[in-house]
Structure 1
C-alpha cells in the first residue's frame, strides 16, 4: 500500500479543508514542468461517505480508534499526500448528473444535466483534456467498469445533446483515434442512428480497432503491439458493464487488472500517456442503496488507484495521479436515527451477492415459478425466507416484528396482486413520484432495496435517496504537480488544473470542427 511521510487531511464529512503537517518530500512547488504520465481516477457516485464506509469496513474493530487508524485500514487514495475539495453542481441544477459533471472535469465547461461535451446552449462543442493531449502526441487510454459509451468516458471523446444517444457516442469513439479502451462494452454497436449512418461496429473496424474479450489474451497486451484496441469483459450480467466486484466471475479481469493492462500497453509511447479510469459501478450500486456492494466497488476502485501509485514509484518525477468523485449518490449517511451513536458492521458480512444480481437471477427465477397472489395471502414463504438468508444473511426469525412487516410490505409491492396488475398494465413504480410505492422504494425493486436498506440500518448507517446529492467531493493528488489540487474549488477547475499542469491550452477550448448540432 502506498505510504507517505506526511500529508494533508480532509475531515471526512465536512465541507472544509483542514491542512496539517508538511508536504511529501517529492512535491516541489517550484517545478512547473509537465508530467509525462497522467492518471485521472473518477469514482462515480463516490464522496466522503462511501470512502469512510469502506475504510470502516476494512477495520478490525469499527469502534476502535486504534483499528481505524491502523495502516491496513487505510485506502490507497486516502494516503495520497494532497487533498482538495470540489463542488459538483452543474449549469442548471444544484444536484447534477454524471454527464454534466464529466463535461466539467473533462473539458472545464459547465453545462446542463444530461449534456456531454457541449455548452449549455448545445450549439458549441468543447474539447477534453484527452483530446488536447492527443494533439500533442500523448497516448490516450479510457477505462470504465460501466459501458464505454456511458456519460463519464463519453465526455473525453464525444459531444452530444443527450447522454442516452449511445449509438452516436459509440460512433464518435470510433473516430477519436484514442489508443486504448478497456472495461465494459460500447452500446448500440449494430444500430445506425448516428452522424455517419453506419454501425459503430463497422466504424471501429474501419478505424483500425481490434476488439478483445479473452482475459488471458488481454492481460498479455503490451507496447501497443495490437494497434488501437478495445478490451471488454468476456462476461457481463447486463450485456454491457463489468459485473459488480462482489459478483465478478473468474473469466473476467478486475478494474485494477485492466488499469495495469492500459499502463503496459501505453507506457512505451515516447510522449507519455493520459489514462482516465472510472469506477462507474460505485454509482449504480449506490442508486440501489446496496451498502455492501458499494464498499466492494470502492475497494476495487482503490485497488486500481494502487496500481497507478506503484507505477509512480518507478517514475516518481514524471507521474501525476488525481483521484476524485463526480457527485455523491444515495445520500449515504454514516449514522441512523434508530442507532443513536452505535455502529456494528457485522450484519454487512452476511451478504454474498449484489442486489442487482439477486434481482436478475434469484428474484427473477422466484417470480417465474410463483403465481401472483393477493395482498391478503402474500406472506413471505419459506423459499423466499431462505433466499434472503442465503444471499443477505438475514435470518427471518431473528428480525423484529417491525422489520418483518417492512419486508412483508415490500414483498407485496414486488410480488403481490397490486404489483401484478401494475406490471400487466405496463405501469412502473418510477412513473409517478407522488405514488406511495415510489416514495418508499424509488424506482427500485421494493423487496431487494428494503433488504439492503435494512442491512445498512442494522449496521448504524442509512440512505436518504435513490438519486444523487449535492455533496462536494474530495480530490486526492500525488506526484508531479499535485500541489495544484489543494483548496476548495469548482469541478471545472479540475480540468483546468490538469490542462495547466500538462502544458495544454487554457480551458475551455471550442472545437471548431464540430457544431454540436446532431446530423441525424
Structure 2
C-alpha cells in the first residue's frame, strides 16, 4: 500500500524487461535430455516455483553430507541434484534516493528485493515488495497467472505476509508493513477476484487484528479456514486460508503433530489447484532455512532443508505424472556464510547434527523457562557432552538482573554443534554468492546457465503465458487492482 505515491501504476514485465539493471544473461535453450524432462517447446499449463530462502550452495552440499551412507564409496545425492540446470545471480540494486547518481546503498540482497526480482522480472531496492526503484507497483507473475484464469497459491513456513510470499501477492514500499501486506491479499483483486486461492503458512497475528479481521472476511467470501493439519486436510473447498502460527511456524524438528509439514501443505495446495481448467501457479517457500542461517544454527538449517527437500519431492512427483507442469526451484540468496569444515580441519561430522532431537532455540527456551540445563541437554541434544560443554551452557544461563538471556544460551548450544560437526559461519546476515537453479518439466532448460534473478522472473511470465496458443498476450499495462495508500522506505535484513 503506497501512501507516498501521487499515482499508482502497474509496471509490467513487458515494459521493464529491456531496462533491467545489469542485464539478463543469455541462456541456452535446448531440447530435453533422454530422461524424460520434457521437450523445450512443450506446453506448460502449471508452474510450481519453489524458493529455499537462504539456501546457498553450501546448504544443498551439506544436505548431501547428511544424506550420505558412509558404507558406500560415493556420497548419496539429494533429491535436488538430478535437476540442477543453472545458477542465479542474487544482487539487489539499492540506490540512495537522496544520494548522487550511481550511489549504491546495498548490493547484497534481502529477501524482499530478490523475491520482487523473481516475481516481477526487475531489479529493485532492499525492502521493496512488488515495487520498482521509483516505488511504483510492478505486476507479479502470480497476478499475471490469475489474469489468465489460472488458480493460484502461496505456501510458506514463515508468516504468509513475509517478504517472499508477499512479493508475489502484494505491493508495498516496505516489507515491514505486515498488516498492510495482509490487507493487500484481501483488498487487491484481479478481474474482481481475490488474487490467491490457497494461502498456507503462519500469520494469525496479522489476519486476526483488533482493527480488522481478515480471517472472517475471507470466510464470508467462501474460503475455508484451517489452523491445524487436521482442519487443512479435511477441507474440500478450492479456496483455503490456513494459518498455523501467530507469526512464523515452528522449525520442522520442533513442530507439533498438529502443525502440517511443508510437504503436506504443498500437497494440499496441489490437490486444490490441480483441477483448474486453465492451470495454476503455485509458489512454495522453505522460509526458515534463512532464519536458521541468520541464527547460525546448523541443526535448524538441516531440519529446514529436509523439510524443503520433502516438499520438492512432492512437486516433482506431481509434475512427472501431469506432464504439463514445470517445477523451478532456487534460492533468493545465501544466509550466514555457512562452511562445511572449519578451523583448518578437513572433516565434517553429519552425525553430530543428525543427533539433535530439537533445535538449540527450543532447548534454550526450555532452560529459560526454568528447566535444569543437564536435563534439557540430556533430553534433546542427542550427544554425550563433556563437563566443559555442559558448563559453557550453564555459564550462559546465569541470570542477569533476575533474567536468563535466552540468546546467550542458544548461542552456547549452537557452538557445541558447530565445533563438533565442523560447521563454520562468517556472518549473521546474507552473502552475495550465486545460488543453484533446479528445474524439471517442459522448457526447463530456459533456466540454464548463469542468469539474473530478474531474468528468472521474466521467464516465469513467459511460462504462465505459454499455453495461450497464439492468442497473443499483454503483460498487463495499467492497473490490475485498485490501490492508493502505503508507507515509508525501510526494512529489516531477512
TM-score (norm 1): 0.77
CA contact (8 A) 2:238 2:272 kept: no
Instruction: State the 1:191 CA deviation.
Output: 3.6
1:75 aligns with 78
1:39 aligns with 48
1:498–1:394 CA distance, 2 compared to 1 (3 A)? same
Distance 1:473 1:516 in 2: 36
2:113 aligns with 100
Distance 1:140 1:207 in 2: 16
**CA RMSD across the alignment:** 3.0
Distance 2:32 2:142 in 1: 32
1:448 aligns with 410
Distance 2:426 2:474 in 1: 39
CA contact (8 A) 2:130 2:170 kept: yes
Of residues 42, 45, 55, the one that matches 2:64 is: 55
Task: Say yes or no: does 1:273 pair with 2:280.
Answer: yes
Of residues 327, 332, 347, the one that matches 2:352 is: 347
1:393–1:506 CA distance, 2 compared to 1 (3 A)? farther
CA contact (8 A) 2:155 2:284 kept: yes
CA contact (8 A) 1:160 1:516 kept: no
SS in structure 1 of the partner of residue 457 of structure 2 = helix
CA contact (8 A) 2:40 2:442 kept: no
Distance 1:97 1:142 in 2: 19
2:486 aligns with 518
Distance 1:448 1:336 in 2: 20
2:334 aligns with 328
2:373 aligns with 384
1:172–1:453 CA distance, 2 compared to 1 (3 A)? same
Distance 2:272 2:441 in 1: 21
1:492–1:516 CA distance, 2 compared to 1 (3 A)? farther
1:241–1:28 CA distance, 2 compared to 1 (3 A)? closer
1:232 aligns with 243
Task: Say yes or no: does 1:180 pair with 2:198.
Answer: yes
Distance 1:287 1:230 in 2: 28
Distance 1:330 1:507 in 2: 37
Of residues 365, 368, 371, the one that matches 1:364 is: 368
Distance 1:89 1:164 in 2: 20
1:411 aligns with 395
Instruction: State the 1:242 CA deviation.
Output: 2.4
SS in structure 2 of the partner of residue 120 of structure 1 = coil
1:397–1:215 CA distance, 2 compared to 1 (3 A)? closer
Instruction: State the 1:101 CA deviation.
Output: 1.0
CA deviations 1:153-179 (Å, max 9, x no partner) are 111111111111111111111135121
Of residues 150, 156, 160, the one that matches 2:172 is: 160
CA contact (8 A) 2:128 2:172 kept: yes
- 1:5-20 maps to which residues of 2 (within 5 A)? none
Distance 2:291 2:241 in 1: 23
Corresponding residue pairs, total: 438
Distance 2:339 2:474 in 1: 38
CA contact (8 A) 1:180 1:228 kept: yes
2:226 aligns with 212
SS in structure 1 of the partner of residue 85 of structure 2 = strand
Structure 1: which 5+ runs fail to align?
1-16, 370-382, 430-443
Instruction: State the 1:497 CA deviation.
Output: 1.0
Distance 2:395 2:225 in 1: 43
CA contact (8 A) 2:293 2:335 kept: yes
CA deviations 1:24-60 (Å, max 9, x no partner) are 44346551x5411110010011111111111101112
SS in structure 1 of the partner of residue 340 of structure 2 = coil
1:127 aligns with 139
1:291 aligns with 298
Instruction: State the 1:491 CA deviation.
Output: 0.7
